[in-house]
């Protein structure tokens, strides 16, 4: 393995992929790109912090051997191009790299360097963890409720780069095809962009998000989309996401619909919840109820907006980490721009790149080193040791240089951080929150659905628990039971050769009053209606309504394997529509 301008460290070992899994040696070669603008300032500071964390966590047993790679302006000086083939090949060879911000050209007819990197290395998952660190200035009242990991599809959607300038020959060809062959109507001389979204691209992204959630003890994966408008792209993303969960992780996942209809709001042990939300509603929910979301999987454009918006809630993109990952190759990165006016001033906040390195250490399996930085960071912030951007938002803080902040962080780590105790405390707090949410779901399911942005769509989600009496119960006794329970019908258990049945108020009027019989002498099995109209829990409310009309009944029984588990009436559907509204299918 040789390169023309790049230099492999003499003492390090290559990271390998064996049996579909990463194999990271104790002395790995890891690539880094300084970046443009402020990149060199923050990269120098962060390299010192990462090295100190590794040394402190492992007592010299482990060490990263850094290999500089060239991209952007520095590459142009050496290779005459901003994304040389040698760097692309080296990033694949070393498997794991981290980079500073790179200049993204605007217009000019060539691809963004960042987009080119993602597409050429097939880094299909943009992973953006967003959590709050104590002491960091935030515009929210309770920013500590935010702890999500966003998986943004990185290669498709409108970012695929398939677009044609207004008035160009290519645009005219597409325009003619759309108008003449497809019957499309739009204004004259548009710029035209194509939004490709495929089952392959979607499923591998959602698969990675689900695996991450399972491997890291997360509670849910939320598919964020705009499928109510773009049904064949964003709507398909949602559907393909559910397919992956069902077909590949069926024994370890449960849909949100099943959570309410089958499990009464309680997450079964060893499973995670798969749910979905409309993109614009999700922005609102991340402000109002952020702790209900955990891992988020979303198409490219939604993910771009959402990741920066949520980052603003916990301190801004200046401390927001990120990574672009393929099946194995990973490039971690600062998520902000190059800020050229601050270049070489040793002034800016290194947080985004710093925590991207924490992500990298965690990705390598070096969790102890990652947690040293994670738990030392808020200690430094709480002492008022911050860069200028935080200092102007904090009372009593004195701004320090980028390099000085790095030194303070290193000294804090070396002074002793009981990260294991803090980790246990954090996990206990997370578990307590989960139990509280579960209690709310089980006690007030409709209220929780509405507040969390979910509209019930199936009979299993709105069914009431069944009330049943033995078939030989007298009608009079059953009527008293119905009055006491505040219900208008009661299920009748199998009696003799008869199957399950239902006795309603109408049955009493029709078969007791009009037939001049005594409710004290007649058994419920004699007047109950049968056979039951029984539907599976996943039946849509639309299909349920059709069955009610076809059978001329006001209520249906929800059942599995021939056994009733709930009941839904037309009154239940009316109340649902009155509360949530109704969106036609």
Which CATH number does the domain housing residue 343 bear? 3.40.718.10
Out of 32, 132, 133, 159, the active site residue is 159
CA-atom Rg of the chain in angstroms: 30
> Which two tokens mark 464?
């009431």
Q: Is residue 410 part of a domain?
A: no
HEC-encoded secondary structure of 212-275: HHHHCCCCEEEEEECCCCCCCCHHHHHHHHHHHHHHHHCCCEEEHHHHHHCCCCCCCCCCEEEE
- Distance, in Å, from the CA atom of 153 to the CA atom of 83, rounded to the nearest integer, reads 22
Exposure string for 117-154, b = 16+ CB within 10 A, e = fewer: bbbebebbbbbbbbbbbebbbbeeeebebbbbbbbbbb
- Do 125 and 1 fall within a single domain? yes
The string of pLDDT tens digits covering residues 530-584 is 999 999 988 989 999 999 999 999 999 999 888 998 899 999 899 888 888 877 6
Intra-chain end-to-end CA distance of the chain, in Å = 57
Domain count within the chain: 2
HSE of 392 in the Cβ direction (CA atoms, 13 Å)?
4
- Do 3 and 123 fall within a single domain? yes
Taking the CA atoms of residue 513, residue 517, residue 522 and residue 528 in that order, the dihedral angle to the nearest 10 degrees is -40
Residue 99 among the catalytic residues: no
The string of pLDDT tens digits covering residues 67-114 is 999 999 999 999 998 899 999 999 999 999 999 999 865 555 446 788
Out of 26, 142, 266, 280, the active site residue is 280
Residue 159 among the catalytic residues: yes
Q: Is residue 171 part of a domain?
A: no
- Distance, in Å, from the CA atom of 365 to the CA atom of 362, rounded to the nearest integer, reads 5
Q: Is the pLDDT of residue 215 over 90?
A: yes
Tell me, what's the pLDDT at 111?
61
Q: Taking Cα atoms as reference points, which of 42, 148, 98, 147 lies closest to residue 389?
A: 42
Domain that holds residue 341: 1-131+314-366
Q: Is the pLDDT of residue 465 over 60?
A: yes
Residue at which a domain ends, from 322, 341, 366:
366
Out of 147, 304, 379, 507, the active site residue is 304
Average pLDDT, integer, range 40-49: 97
Out of 74, 99, 195, 226, the active site residue is 226
Q: Is residue 491 part of a domain?
A: yes
> Which two tokens mark 325?
């990952």
HSE of 156 in the Cβ direction (CA atoms, 13 Å)?
19
Residue 247 among the catalytic residues: no
The string of pLDDT tens digits covering residues 118-159 is 888 999 999 999 999 888 888 888 989 999 999 999 989 988
CB 278 within 8 A of CB 225: yes
Average pLDDT, integer, range 505-528: 95
Read off the DSSP letter of residue 498: B
CATH code, domain carrying 516: 3.10.580.10
Q: Is residue 325 part of a domain?
A: yes
Average pLDDT, integer, range 327-334: 94
Residue 226 among the catalytic residues: yes
Residue at which a domain ends, from 337, 366, 395:
366
Residue at which a domain ends, from 326, 343, 366:
366
């Amino acid at each position: 393995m040789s390169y023309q301008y790049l230099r492999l460290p003499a003492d390090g070992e290559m990271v390998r992929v064996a049996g579909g899994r990463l194999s990271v040696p104790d002395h790995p070669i890891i690539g880094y790109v300084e970046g443009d603008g402020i990149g060199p300032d923050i990269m120098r500071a962060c390299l010192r912090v990462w090295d100190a964390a590794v040394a402190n966590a492992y007592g010299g047993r482990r060490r990263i051997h850094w290999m500089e790679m060239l991209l952007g302006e520095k590459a142009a000086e050496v290779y005459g191009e901003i994304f040389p083939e040698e760097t692309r090949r080296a990033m694949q060879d070393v498997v794991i790299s981290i980079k500073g911000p790179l200049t993204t050209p605007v217009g000019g007819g060539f691809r963004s360097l960042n987009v080119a990197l993602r597409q050429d290395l097939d880094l299909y998952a943009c992973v953006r963890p967003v959590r709050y660190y104590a002491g960091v200035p935030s515009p929210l009242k309770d920013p500590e409720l935010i702890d999500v990991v966003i998986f943004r599809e990185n290669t498709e959607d409108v970012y695929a780069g398939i677009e044609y300038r207004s008035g160009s020959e290519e645009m005219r060809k597409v325009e003619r095809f759309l108008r003449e062959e497809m019957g499309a109507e739009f204004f004259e001389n548009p710029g035209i962009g194509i939004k490709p979204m495929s089952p392959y691209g979607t499923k591998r992204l959602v698969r990675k998000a689900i695996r991450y959630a399972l491997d890291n003890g997360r509670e849910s994966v939320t598919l964020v989309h705009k499928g109510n408008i773009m049904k064949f792209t964003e709507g398909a993303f949602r559907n393909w996401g559910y397919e992956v969960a069902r077909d590949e992780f069926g024994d370890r996942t449960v849909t949100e619909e099943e959570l309410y209809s089958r499990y009464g709001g309680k997450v079964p042990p060893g499973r995670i919840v798969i749910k979905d939300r409309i993109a614009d509603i999700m922005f609102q929910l991340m402000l109002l109820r952020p702790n209900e979301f955990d891992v988020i999987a979303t198409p490219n454009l939604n993910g771009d907006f959402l990741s920066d918006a949520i980052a603003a809630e916990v301190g801004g993109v200046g401390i927001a980490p990120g990574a672009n990952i393929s099946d194995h190759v990973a490039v971690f990165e600062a998520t902000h721009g190059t800020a050229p006016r601050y270049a070489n001033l040793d002034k800016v906040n290194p947080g985004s790149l710093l925590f991207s390195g924490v992500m990298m250490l965690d990705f390598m399996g070096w969790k102890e080193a990652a947690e040293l930085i994670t738990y030392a960071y808020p200690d430094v912030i709480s002492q008022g040791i911050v860069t200028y951007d935080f200092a102007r938002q904090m009372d009593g803080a004195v701004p320090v240089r980028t390099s000085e902040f790095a030194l303070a962080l290193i000294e804090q780590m070396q002074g002793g951080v009981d990260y294991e105790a803090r980790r246990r405390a954090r996990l206990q707090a997370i578990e307590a929150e989960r139990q509280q949410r579960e209690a709310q779901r089980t006690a007030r399911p409709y209220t929780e659905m509405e507040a969390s942005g979910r509209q019930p769509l199936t009979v299993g989600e709105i069914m009431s628990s069944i009330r049943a009496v033995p078939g030989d119960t007298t009608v009079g006794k059953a009527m008293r039971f119905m009055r006491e329970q505040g219900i208008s019908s009661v299920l009748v258990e199998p009696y003799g050769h008869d199957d399950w049945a239902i006795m309603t108020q109408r049955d009493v009027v029709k078969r007791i009053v009009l037939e001049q019989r005594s409710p004290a002498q007649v058994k419920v099995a004699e007047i109950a209606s049968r056979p039951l109209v029984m539907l599976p829990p996943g039946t849509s409310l639309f299909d349920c309504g059709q069955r009610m009309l076809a059978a001329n009944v006001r209520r249906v029984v929800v059942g599995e394997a021939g056994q009733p588990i709930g009941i839904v009436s037309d009154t239940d559907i009316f109340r649902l529509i009155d509360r949530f509204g109704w969106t036609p299918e």
